[in-house]
Amino acid sequence: MNKSDIDPRAVIHPSAILGEGVSVGPFTVIGPDVEIGEGTTIESHVVIKGPTKIGRFNKIFQFSTLGEATPDLKYKGEPTTLTIGDHNVIREGVTIHRGTIQDRGDTLIGNHNLLMAYVHIGHDSVIGNHCILVNNAALAGHVVIDDWAILSGYTLVHQFCKIGAHAFTGMGAAVGKDIPAFVMVAGAPAAARNINVEGLKRRGFTKEDIAALSHAYKTLYRRGLTIDEALVELQEQALHNAHIQTLIDSLKASTRGIVR
- Alpha carbon 142 to chain centroid distance? 11
Q: What SS3 state is found at 61?
A: coil
Distance CA 39, CA 35 (A): 13
**Please, is 121 exposed, middle or buried when counting C-beta atoms within 10 Å of its C-beta (0-12, 13-18, 19+)?**
buried
Distance CA 95, CA 210 (A): 35
Q: Mean pLDDT score of the chain, rounded to an integer?
A: 96
- CATH number for 200-253 (one of 2.60.120.200, 1.20.1180.10, 1.10.1040.10, 1.20.120.80): it is 1.20.1180.10
Q: Which residues of the chain have pLDDT under 50?
A: 1-2
The domain defined by 3-142 carries CATH number 1.10.10.920: no
**Can you give the pLDDT at residue 73?**
87
**Can you give the pLDDT at residue 1?**
45
Cis peptide before 26 (omega within 30 of 0): no
Q: For residue 112, what is the DSSP state? A: S
Asked whether 253 and 247 are in contact (CB, 8 A), the reply is no
**Can you give the pLDDT at residue 220?**
97
Using left for φ > 0, alpha for ψ between -120 and 50, and beta otherwise, residue 192 falls in beta
Q: What SS3 state is found at 52?
A: strand
**Residues annotated as part of the active site:** 123-124, 141
**Can you give the pLDDT at residue 93?**
98
Q: What SS3 state is found at 219?
A: helix
**Can you give the pLDDT at residue 3?**
54
Alpha helices of the chain — where are they, by DSSP H? 197-202, 207-221, 227-238, 243-253
Return the domain boundaries, the chain: 3-142, 200-253
3-142 shares its CATH topology with 200-253: no
- Alpha carbon 208 to chain centroid distance? 28
